[in-house]
Amino acid sequence: MNSSPWWKEATIYQIYPRSFFDSNGDGEGDLPGVTSKLDYVKSLGVDAIWLSPFFTSPNKDGGYDVANPRDVDPRFGNLEDARELITQAHMRDLRVIADIVPNHFSDQHEWFQAALKAKRSSKERERFHFYDANEDGTPPNNWISLFGGPSWTQVEDGQFYLHLFDSSQPDLNWENPEVNADFEKTLRFWIDLGVDGFRIDVAHGLIKEDVLTNHPDPQGLSNALRLDVAMDSEVRNALLLTVPYFDRQGVHEVYRKWRKLFDSYGEREIMAVAEAWVHPPVNATRYVRADELHQVFNFDLLTAEFDANVLFDVVERSISLNATVNALPTWALSNHDSPRVASRIGDEQARALALFVFGLPGSTYVFAGQELGLPDGQLQDSDRQDPTFFRTNGAIKGRDGARVPLPWGGDTIPFGFSTGKPWLPISQSWKDLTVESELADPKSSLHLYKNALELRKEFLVGAGGITWLESPQHGDKNDSLLSYSRGSITVVMNLSDSAQECEADGKLVMVSSGTVDARDGIKVIPARSTAWFLS
């Protein structure tokens, strides 16, 4: 291929280790489980895996509450297992991205334990955000945690500490140089162990300003910041412009330093992708300036309706904004924080959107199970583990639905995931969605993903920009079709509920559902379906 860095237009497969494959029968996925399934991962045609956190953690927030960032939690295995996973991935030419959590530690981290024992204004407390109570005893401000409830928890001597997420996740004070020094140590630790890159959790959150200022609608803001809470997009966007604790300019200084560290590994082409959901969208491009990070997630497709106007805007904006800093966009339809795309917009629509997105320039992220077309798991309240569910007294159900373990094969639950009881229940209705049964069905979502990723690699990676053929502003300018050409491929998505004619050139190579009729140069695209043509 060409000499551009490996991550530039990579397809990256997100693995939530606890839900992937359980190697020892305790009901929870683990690192040896991931290693044992790398041939499957490779067969999908992806370039890299991103592993959600597997570090030492009391697991109050699915491992995003890290008690020791330089070790593996026993539920997932040990450091030797991590090393083996990386070695085995590299043997298959798969890169490995670790998920680093710099905004907060777990309250079980030794620093926080020391801070609890230490006095006000001590060096131990200065690593976090400890403040005195207001005169009337209330917390220093009115912010609501992203998981619900106050952002502050009081300790024995009356001070409060800040936690934008669960009370078990105290925010770190990035004005304190010790914090950056410790993270650089962590980055080097994992790079030296062999990882090829990092996903940076809450990358926009590290620097806090105006910590003592109240927000006019803290509850609305907390809801707006959650991908699993549905909200009118205008209301959401208006609220998102007012976040007082994200996207402060100081975060960019951190990433400039980190970029130097990554670049010091030269040919290893260490990359980093920021989880930075910031507003207005132009702000996201700052994270991918030439001397900062390599990629920033685009969250728009996690909430966008299946609608031509909305999707056209998202794609146009993302490509053009990234171009201003000479970066390529990223695309993701699902992740461990949002409802699964098949549940959110429908099965056929999810397949159509995947094919539409796989043709676009940039990197594409696939959340494990998405290739099977999995819906959200059906859970009882008694199954739930997400702190959001508890912190909102059940008002917000949380993210467990997207985290139900993967069905691998066989006819009965838990479909080969574990020989024990899975940590979240899998329902019998997933029988036809197992890897085994989809491999046997040429029309399955799994085959569609494999074919698409193969064609993408062959014809699209490095093929440059897109030319719109049909959109609300191109071609017939109606809302039924979105179509673009890129390299030798023409992609046509029919968003409507009836078949639509189009004039795409080339021979049909793939369709997400239904069959394409071609007569006299006119092609008829089935309802809620995307087709690829090769010329």
* Segment near ligand GLC (CB under 6 A); pick from 58-66, 118-126, 419-427, 481-489: 58-66
Q: 281-301: b or e for each residue (b if 16 or more CB lie within 10 Å)?
A: beebbbbbbeebbbbbbbbbb
Contacts of 43 (CB under 8 A, 6+ apart): 450
Active site residue 383: no
Q: How far is the CB of 414 from Ca ion (least distance, A)?
A: 12
Sequence-ordered alpha helix ranges (H) in 141-299: 177-193, 218-224, 233-240, 250-263
As a residue count, the chain comes to 535
Exactly one of 61, 275, 386, 438 is catalytic; name it. 275
Strand arrangement of the beta sheet that strand 152-154 belongs to: 130-131, 160-162, 152-154
Which of Ca ion, ligand GLC, none sits in contact with 269, Cβ below 5 to 8 A by type?
Answer: none
Instruction: Give the residue with the Cβ less far from Ca ion, 58 or 475.
Output: 58
Please select the residue that binds ligand GLC; options are 20, 50, 76, 165, rule is CB under 6 A: 165
Question: Per 3-state DSSP, what percentage of the chain is helix, strand, and coil (rounded to 5)?
Answer: 35, 15, 50
CB atoms within 10 A of CB 260: 11
Say how many Å lie between the first and final Cα of the chain, rounded.
21
- Contact code string over 334-353 relative to ligand GLC, x by CB under 6 A: --xx----------------
Residues at the interface with Ca ion (CB under 5 A) = 22, 24, 26, 28, 30
With CB under 5 to 8 Å by kind, the binding choice for 228 among ligand GLC, Ca ion, none is none
CB of 99 to ligand GLC, least distance (A): 8
Nearer to ligand GLC (CB atom), residue 21 or residue 64: 64
Of the residues 9, 22, 61, 81, which one makes contact with ligand GLC according to CB under 6 A: 61
101 binds ligand GLC (CB under 6 A): yes
Number of residues that bind ligand GLC (CB under 6 A): 10
Residue 101 interaction partner, one of ligand GLC, Ca ion, none, beta carbon < 5-8 Å per kind: ligand GLC
Chosen from Ca ion, ligand GLC, none, partner binding at 64 (C-beta under 5 to 8 Å by type)? ligand GLC
And the tokens for 532?
Answer: 């690829």
Structure tokens given for 307 = 């609608």
Contact pick of 10, 34, 96, 202 for ligand GLC (by CB under 6 A): 202
- Least distance CB 367 / ligand GLC (angstroms): 11
The pairing of beta strand 48-51 with beta strand 95-100 = parallel
Helix/strand/coil for 492: strand
Catalytic residue, candidates 9, 201, 371, 438: 201
In contact, 491 and 532? CB cutoff 8 Å: yes
**Which does residue 22 bind out of Ca ion, ligand GLC, none, counting CB within 5 to 8 angstroms by kind?**
Ca ion
* Binding at 30: pick from ligand GLC, Ca ion, none (beta carbon under 5-8 Å per type): Ca ion
Q: Using the rule CB under 6 A, is 201 a contact of ligand GLC?
A: yes
Taking residue 216's Cβ as centre, other Cβ atoms within 10 Å add up to 9
Widest CA span of the chain, in angstroms? 81
Binding mask 118-157 for ligand GLC (x = CB under 6 A): ----------------------------------------
Distances, alpha carbon 82 to alpha carbons 31, 35, 200, 294, 521, in Å? 7, 9, 19, 24, 54
In the complex, the smallest distance separating the C-beta of residue 87 from ligand GLC, rounded to whole angstroms, is: 27
Residue 376 interacts with, from Ca ion, ligand GLC, none (CB under 5-8 Å by kind): none
**Part in contact with ligand GLC (CB under 6 A); list of ranges 25-33, 60-68, 257-265, 468-476:** 60-68
Contact call for residues 65 and 18 (beta carbons, < 8 A)? no
Query: Which DSSP string do the residues of 245-264 spell out, in sequence order?
Result: SS--THHHHHHHHHHHHHHT
In the complex, minimum distance from the CB of residue 408 to Ca ion, in angstroms, rounded to a whole number: 14
Residue 18 or 37 having the CB closest to ligand GLC = 18
Helices (H) and strands (E) in the chain, counts: 15, 21
Is position 26 annotated as part of the catalytic site? no
Rounded Cα–Cα distance for residues 189 and 400 (Å): 31
DSSP string over 343-365:
HHH-HHHHHHHHHHHHTSSSEEE
Least distance between ligand GLC and beta carbon 337 (Å): 5
Alpha carbons within 13 A on the beta-carbon side of 242: 18
Task: Verify binding: residue 64, ligand GLC, rule CB under 6 A.
Answer: yes
Q: Does 247 bind ligand GLC (CB under 6 A)?
A: no
Q: Which of residues 253-282 bind ligand GLC (CB under 6 A)?
A: 275
Tokens of 23: 């190697």
Helix (H, G, I), strand (E, B) or coil at 87: helix
- How far apart (Å, rounded) are the C-alpha atoms in residues 218 and 237? 15
Q: How far is the CB of 36 from ligand GLC (least distance, A)?
A: 25
By a kind-dependent CB cut-off of 5 to 8 A, residue 28 interacts, out of Ca ion, ligand GLC, none, with: Ca ion
Residues serving a catalytic function are 201, 275
- Residues of this chain that interact with ligand GLC (CB under 6 A) are 61-62, 64, 101, 165, 201-202, 275, 336-337
